[in-house]
Amino acid sequence: MSAVLNQSAEEQPLVLCYQVNGSCPRTIHPLGVQLAIYLTCAVGMLITVLGNLFVVFAVSYFKALHTPTNFLLLSLALADMFLGLLVLPLSTVRSVESCWFFGDFLCRLHTYLDTLFCLTSIFHLCFISIDRHCAICEPLIYPSKFTVRVAFRYIVAGWGIPATYTAFFLYTDVVERGLSQWLKEMPCVGSCQLLFNKFWGWLNFPVFFFPCLIMMGLYVKIFIIATRQAQQINTMSKSQAGASKRERKAAKTLGIAVGIYLLCWLPFTIDTLVDSLINFITPPLVFDIFIWFAYFNSACNPIIYVFSYRWFRKALKLILSRDVFSPRTPTIDLYQE
């Protein structure tokens, strides 16, 4: 009897993504597990999209929030919101079904948008840290040095550089022609891992890591200067003290955002680098966990703002109330105690 059972187990056909030669094997989860994963991902996408939508609407709607720093926050929120809208739905299906069912065109576009929004986030965080460094360390020249026009230049660079960089590697044949010795063939049909090569792993590591080093260096200096200013704050007038307190609060909040960004993205970035050295042997499940841990960062910033910014909580209450339709609401001073 046991021999018959063993024989039937051995003869059980392997489930594939496609019924073609070289197809990827498909991992079949129990229905309850599938539903639980889909529900969890759906909740994560909802938090990401709605949370960042609130940031975009608040900064756009309330005139008191039309500052250079907040325009950078708005642009960062747009990148995170578009990640939740355009990238995470297909990533959810790929992770749960362990197959890519949407064709080569959408695979390339999905990879492009994924990389674009993630790189845009880190560029914006780096620019925001520069803004905070100038506000804390050079408060007298900050209003004239970091204007709205300068902020928009940073925004254009924050979107333009990642868009050009990603398009160069995904939509040109430079990698295939010039770096063939670094490439690894796609493991099977039904996978969407276009960047499956050693060169990409080595190149992405400094692209993510060096801006993080810049941010950490700037925030160490900001912390030292802010501590010194806190000791002198009693000698300031009430208005000066309030302004200084707001600047230090903003620097602290954005420092927390950078710290969470590092926690979310470093596992994936380091794994991408190390995996290229060990012939890409990271199990798909582990790789998916690292990816989703990185995606989770896009849902974090609005949550940080809720707990850190009083103006964001006031804006949120007004948006969710009938007062948002009042003609006076856009001109409310959200910074007033």
Concatenated DSSP letters of 233-256: GGGS-HHHHHHHHHHHHHHHHHHH
Q: Which residues of the chain have pLDDT under 50?
A: 1-12, 196
Q: Is residue 268 a part of any domain in this protein?
A: yes
Q: What is the per-residue pLDDT for 158?
A: 94
Q: Is residue 13 a part of any domain in this protein?
A: no
Q: Is residue 272 a part of any domain in this protein?
A: yes
Measured CA to CA, the distance from residue 90 to residue 269 in angstroms comes to: 21
Measured CA to CA, the distance from residue 78 to residue 51 in angstroms comes to: 11
Collapsing DSSP states into helix, strand and coil, what is residue 195? Answer: coil
- For the segment 157-166, what is each residue's pLDDT rounded down to a tens digit? 999 999 998 8
Q: What is the per-residue pLDDT for 259?
A: 82
DSSP alpha helix (H) spans, the chain: 2-11, 31-61, 68-82, 88-97, 103-137, 142-145, 148-170, 174-178, 198-232, 238-277, 284-295, 297-308, 310-319
Q: How many domains does the chain fold into?
A: 1
pTM of the model: 0.84
Question: Which amino acid appears at position 134 of this protein?
Answer: C
Measured CA to CA, the distance from residue 145 to residue 135 in angstroms comes to: 9
DSSP secondary structure letters along 269-330? HHHHHHHHHTTS---HHHHHHHHHHHHTHHHHHHHHHHHH-HHHHHHHHHHTSGGGGSTTGG
Q: What is the per-residue pLDDT for 241?
A: 55
- CATH number for 289: 1.20.1070.10
- Which residues span the domain enclosing 180? 30-331
Q: Is residue 10 a part of any domain in this protein?
A: no
Q: Is residue 3 a part of any domain in this protein?
A: no
Q: Is residue 171 a part of any domain in this protein?
A: yes
Q: What is the per-residue pLDDT for 90?
A: 93
Q: Is residue 309 a part of any domain in this protein?
A: yes
Q: Cα torsion for 252, 258, 264, 266, to the nearest 10°?
A: -130
Average pLDDT score over the chain: 80
Q: Is residue 323 a part of any domain in this protein?
A: yes
The answer to whether the CB of 151 falls within 8 A of the CB of 106 is no
- For the segment 282-307, what is each residue's pLDDT rounded down to a tens digit? 777 788 888 888 898 888 888 887 77
